[in-house]
Structure 1
């Protein structure tokens, strides 16, 4: 299952050279992950309040391949690479919406861990695992 999320590059996202500042790709892929979870029917605020579970990023492997520029519309694709007991690895790919067959601009492998109220890893909620299998 691949989730797609689009966003536009605003002036505030760029650096002096007029290209997307490298750290902003992390913001873009975070938004895409949030929408992916929402699309699965998971209310993260309720999950935190009722179950005490939140997601934390443990690791990001990122490759900056080509620059995105002001006013580009980007598509972020999110797919599950691996689902473990308390963690999952997502692959996220950023392309220009207008040229989806072109080479990716940015790719990342993101490891997320489910964290309980006491700050330790806990089993991923069943509601998350169910729609993925």
Structure 2
């Protein structure tokens, strides 16, 4: 789950950690990254015309998370400002990876890296090849990353 240096982010979101993100010691609770990553992915798909609440109705598929991993590199705490950067990772026949990098803005230190693997499924919930409408977006995103 490495991020190639110089690869531009497809999307980024900056926020300040709040009390709800931390444990009683004021350090980021390890599970707090996952809602932020989901928010980032949902917004990116939405901004690209792929509303997750309409995928099944409009395109006959939806995406399901089938794998997650996160490396916690540096502790962060209450009121640290964080930028999450979203990049496209591996794209297969029926699944693809979204790579997240979390950066503390004060010193530009990468504090965590995560990967979420999404699989496309049909209306009955069975795995299906990535539909053309999504494949076109993934190819365009991959092309933008390769061009840099």
1:49 Cα deviation from its structure 2 partner: 2.6
CA distance in 2, matches of 1:122, 1:79: 23
Tell me the C-alpha RMSD between the 2 structures: 1.7
| Residue equivalent to 1:69 | 77
List structure 1 segments (4+ residues) > 4 angstroms apart after TM superposition.
Answer: none
In 2, the alpha carbon distance for the partners of 1:8 and 1:41 equals: 28
> Which of 107, 111, 127 is equivalent to 1:121?
127
TM-score normalised per structure 2: 0.79
Label 1:59 to 1:26 Cα distance change in 2 as closer, same or farther (>3 A). Answer: same
Structure 1 equivalent of residue 145 of structure 2: none
Unaligned runs of 5+ in 1: none
Within-5 A mapping of 1:75-90: 75-90=83-98
- The TM-score normalised by the length of structure 1 is 0.87
Segment of structure 1 superposing worse, 48-57 or 28-37 = 48-57
- CA–CA distance in 2 between the matches of 1:69 and 1:38? 30
91, 94, 99: which one aligns with 2:99: 91
Deviation string, structure 1 residues 71-125 (Cα, Å, up to 9, x no partner): 222111111111112100121111113332x2x1111121111122111112223
| Partner of residue 15 from structure 2, selected from 7, 26, 29 | 7
Give 5+ residue unaligned stretches, structure 2: 1-7, 140-148
Deviates more, 1:9-18 or 1:67-76: 67-76
Q: Helix, strand or coil: the match of 2:30? A: coil
Count of equivalent residues: 131
Cα distance change on mapping 1:125 and 1:5 into 2, 3 Å: farther
Change (3 A) 1:44 1:97: same
